[in-house]
Structure 1
């Protein structure tokens, strides 16, 4: 009787090790395809057999005592809302923008380096490379977007208050998700950048969401310096850019088409899991008195 060779055999473990030593920045997806080993098996070999981890090259801005207090207050409010209404988080839409680069350049948020120790590395990026800027909103119910910041010719435009994508397309899409009557009962979250907090934008949001807005300069404040708490930062952008790692595109339309396909492929289960992880991060932040939490996860 013959037996199939175990996937996590010495031969595959050695192949994964040699691959990592040669190209430590390669994504698991590409490594899996090159080696002919499933992504889940490559993950297990990396973590359990080789004892190495993916490090995201990132920069955390130092928190002042005021920043930490604001973060703790915000997290405590979210946790209190969940205790009072179990399904509260299903009604919260988290929104943000991200840049996707035609050159395939990876930004600092999801630049992954597999190693047994955290690498000491700084990534330089040409600020003038061609890019597309997308706006997306995510909740436990699903993903809305992307909406692109571009002119009639498709050229990328800078995000300004006038161009900010809180417009008819998002409002109509939200109605399709939860019903036109119920969409005013949803909550909307955004960070505090200048285009988001212009007077006209906040007036539009407050009117349409009947005051259910979590932002800077609103009754419920989104704490500054909190990318570690934003679902789009800790899940979606990294997930998308990992899938795009190493890709290069001839046109912005090719780039946008792939981003749109990848977003459509995000499952309801992934959205649910992301919001549950958001809840975990809220709890960890309170335990840390508002401090950064990435090292605890």
Structure 2
């Protein structure tokens, strides 16, 4: 039985006293009185002793109800105290704030939510910009808006790593077990997680890719100038020639990574995209530290990773299959929305004089 009534507790206490403080005798009498066949189904000796101690202290064997936090703690003084604390340090956690103010955590949380109408928001992690970056970002965005009535003729490109084990956030890793039964569970993770390196090129109507940088054995390799040019020659350039929308007006964008901007690589790209190369050392100088301006960073990689890991792929082959499936499954309507959002980002960057785009939100 999981819950004993007050009458049963009283009988066990009385049997304990009549047996000269013997828990064993009290248990046998309890079983006989309540027709319990197995002794293990009766209250154990520790529980009977607990009832006896409680009876001696409170003259009752029943559990005392736990006191609920008093609503009186949400006084005007405490509300003002929490409000002042927020002004001093809006990033402090509820637990630390409660400890610093000497108030119960539940009361601080209620004041924040119910009285002050506050809501916790996640901090956005962005790359730190250098002093020269602001003017360069603004200038590039102005150039893009002047030259392109739409960004439909641009292929944006980049590569990203997809690790087999995804990303484990330890703060959310919990398991439930009966009290006292710590299973010591561990999440085993290799020091160097298997991964694939994926390259894609995205326009407003199509995605070219995914292309996996790997050797003959299917193992991921480092992207360097040689492997990048091999991808361009054997995969991207032949594919884009067959693209219906490809014309002399098509532009190509890449970031300033060393493999992208090596002399031989730039010569190859300039030959294929004459005067239509957006890159470091290109016809339009793409600004560094600006992932918020390219759809590869602000959209594609995050979107893909949110989809690819839904089924928890257990092998590299399954991971690659998921990537191919999700890339091919992106609808053209979504790519059109990404293109429109890119233009909005350029406009906002100009308006903010090259600063981070705090108020730009992209919704799928």
User: If the length of structure 2 is used for normalisation, what is the TM-score?
Assistant: 0.57
Contact 1:133 1:149 in 2 (8 A): yes
Are 1:149 and 1:159, in contact at CA under 8 Å, matched by a contact in 2?
A: yes
Q: Distance in 1 between matches of 2:120 and 2:298?
A: 17
For residue 76 of structure 1, give the secondary structure of its aligned residue in structure 2.
helix
Instruction: Choose from 315, 318, 328 the match for 1:264.
Output: 328
Report if the CA contact (8 A) 1:104-1:246 is conserved. no
Q: 1:106 to 1:73 in 2, by over 3 A?
A: farther
Instruction: Give the corresponding residue for 1:117.
Output: none
| Match in the other structure for 1:240 | 304
1:106/1:245 contact within 8 Å kept? no
Q: 1:104 aligns with which of 143, 166, 170?
A: 166
The match for 1:26 is none
1:131-170, aligned counterparts within 5 Å? 131-164=195-228, 165-170=231-236
1:32-70 deviations in whole A, cap 9, x for unaligned? xxxxxxxxxxxxxxxxxxx98985x75322212211111
| 1:214 matches 2:281 | no
Match of 2:340 among 273, 276, 287: 276
Larger Rg: 2
Contact persistence 1:92–1:189 (CA under 8 A): yes
How far residue 126 of structure 1 moved from its aligned partner, in angstroms, is 7.3
In the alignment, is the contact (CA less than 8 A) between 2:308 and 2:326 conserved in 1? Answer: no
What residue ranges of structure 1 are gaps of 5+ in the alignment?
A: 1-50, 113-124
Deviation at 1:127, TM superposition (A): 6.8
Compared with structure 1, are the counterparts of its residues 186 and 224 closer, same or farther at alpha carbon in structure 2 (3 Å cutoff)? same
1:120 match: none
1:264-286 deviations in whole A, cap 9, x for unaligned?
00111111100100000000000
SS at match of 2:259: coil
Q: Distance in 1 between matches of 2:345 and 2:237?
A: 28
Equivalent residues in 2 for 1:64-83, closer than 5 Å: 64-82=130-148
Q: Give, in angstroms, the shift of residue 248 of structure 1.
A: 3.0
2:319 is equivalent to residue 255 of structure 1: yes
- Give CA deviations for 1:69-92 in whole Å, capped at 9, x if unaligned: 11001000011113xxx34x1110
Within 1, Cα distance between the matches of 2:215 and 2:265?
A: 20
- Which structure ranks higher in relative contact order (CA pairs < 8 Å, sequence separation ≥ 6)? 1
Equivalent residues of 1:96, 1:190 under 8 A apart:
yes
Q: Which runs of 5+ in 2 are unaligned?
A: 1-117, 173-188
In structure 2, what is the Cα distance between the partners aligned to 1:198 and 1:222? 15
Partner SS, residue 162 of structure 2: strand
Superposition deviation, residue 250 in structure 1: 2.9
Tell whether the 8 Å contact from 1:205 to 1:211 is kept in structure 2 after alignment.
Answer: no
**Which digits, 9 at most, give the CA deviation of each residue in 1:79-128, with x for residues without a partner?**
1113xxx34x1110000001111112279xxxx9xxxxxxxxxxxx9772
> Which structure's residues are more often strand, by fraction?
1
CA RMSD of aligned residues (A): 2.5
Query: What secondary structure does 2:197 align onto?
Result: strand
Say whether 1:92 aligns with 2:154: yes
Q: Number of aligned pairs?
A: 225
Mapped contact 1:184–1:208 kept (Cα < 8 A):
no
Deviation of the 1:256 alpha carbon:
0.6
Q: Give the Cα separation in 2 of the matches to 1:206 and 1:138.
A: 19
Contact 1:228–1:294 under 8 Å retained in 2? no
In 1, are the aligned partners of 2:138 and 2:350 still within 8 Å (CA)?
Answer: yes
Task: Give the C-alpha shift of residue 210 in structure 1.
Answer: 1.3
Answer yes or no: is the 8 Å Cα contact 1:68–1:289 preserved in 2.
yes
Higher helix share: 2
* Aligned match for 1:227, one of 291, 307, 313: 291
Decide whether the 8 Å contact of 1:213 with 1:220 is kept in 2: yes
Q: Distance in 2 between matches of 1:65 and 1:244?
A: 37
TM-score w.r.t. the length of structure 1 is 0.70
